[in-house]
Structure 1
Amino acid sequence: MDEETFDDLMVSTDAALIVVTTAAENERAGCLVGFHSQSSMSPQQYGFWLSKANHTYQVSLRATHFAIHFLTALDLAMAQRFGARSGEDTDKFRGLDTRSTEQGVPLLSALPNRIVVERIAMLDDGGDHVGITARVISSETTGPFAPLRLSRIGDLSAGRDNDSRAIDPKAGG
């Protein structure tokens, strides 16, 4: 397979970015995500993929609900906050105005365009990300907006390298 051609195709899609937040057992987590899409119109469902190297992935294994915050073109600082820091050594929520859903999912006041979802299934096909399919249980928006796209974030270094998986696949965990 020609990896360069595949990479060129993926770059040309210029994905809109989201911040996914969740909580389990009083532990909050959130990360920047570029892999996501509506996955059903009726019933309303949404799919997103989390890096296995990510702290949010570890929390997601115990979580049932998530918030999908859609970033506007003006939300670069939030993309940097949730994309360039690791939740293992940083409280990404410190100093932010948040409220929690009844399931404990943190909602970021600075990112009001969002859906709250309940996990239906998690698929681990052996790659470096897991896919989560979820049922939409609520949605909020301030109206139409221009999304923050991958091409606008520049050379953002991830909080954790994708090669440093949170759970070693060979360890059987």
Structure 2
Amino acid sequence: MTDLDPFTDLLDYPMYVVTAEADGERAGCLVGFASQCSIRPARFMVWLSKANRTYQVAERAERLEVHLLRRDQNRLARLFGGETGDRTDKFTDVPWHPGPGGTPILDEAPAWLVGRVENQIDGGDHVGFLLAPEAADNPTGNRTPLLTLNDTHDITPGHPAD
């Protein structure tokens, strides 16, 4: 098997917080594998680790919420990336409100989208969730430096990354 590190070590892509709600249970995690994957129809794909509690909630959810973070939102990145929902209610000290279908929207996120789950694709240790956008917002209305992979290298994952 070919090692991807020589290629992926050069990448510095945005990081996202993905939240889910199913059967009254909320979860959320920091995600690096996500991208728009179609223009017409508009579609967005987000990949969740099978080891993550958020995956367990997301596989039962009708919708997922994808949040962008600003570069200075290290506290949120550490909470959703360095803590596990198995031990911590990540929503206790974070302002949020229910979005479409009850999916948690983080009030501090500079931009977010809610997508209806159209399909799940097994990709190995991660599962891809194909989202059909239902709502999106950029409350500040401007562009801001976003949190990227390089900004999160010092966060120890709440669950093993692989």
Scaled to the shorter chain, the TM-score interval is over 0.9
Please list every run of at least 4 consecutive aligned residues from structure 1 whose deviation after the TM superposition is greater than 4 angstroms: none
Query: Structure 1: any 5+ residue segments left out of the alignment?
Result: 164-173
Instruction: Please tell me whether the aligned partners of residues 97 and 110 of structure 1 are also in contact (alpha carbons under 8 angstroms).
Output: yes
Say whether 1:101 aligns with 2:99. Answer: yes
Query: Structure 2: any 5+ residue segments left out of the alignment?
Result: none
Specify the SS of the correspondent of 1:20: strand
Deviations 1:96-131 (A, max 9, x none): 111002411000001131111100100114x11001
Whole-angstrom CA distance in 2 between matches of 1:23 and 1:111: 18
Give the equivalent residue in structure 2 for 1:63.
61
How many aligned positions are there? Answer: 160
Instruction: Report the TM-score when normalising by structure 2.
Output: 0.94
Deviations 1:8-27 (A, max 9, x none): 31121112100000100000
Specify the SS of the correspondent of 2:109: coil
Give the equivalent residue in structure 1 for 2:151.
152
Give the number of the structure whose alpha-carbon radius of gyration is greater: 1
Q: Share of identical aligned residues, percent?
A: 37
State the superposition RMSD in angstroms: 1.2
Give the equivalent residue in structure 2 for 1:113.
111
Match for 1:62: what amino acid? R
Instruction: Report the TM-score when normalising by structure 1.
Output: 0.88
1:39 Cα offset (Å)? 0.9
Give the equivalent residue in structure 1 for 2:136.
139
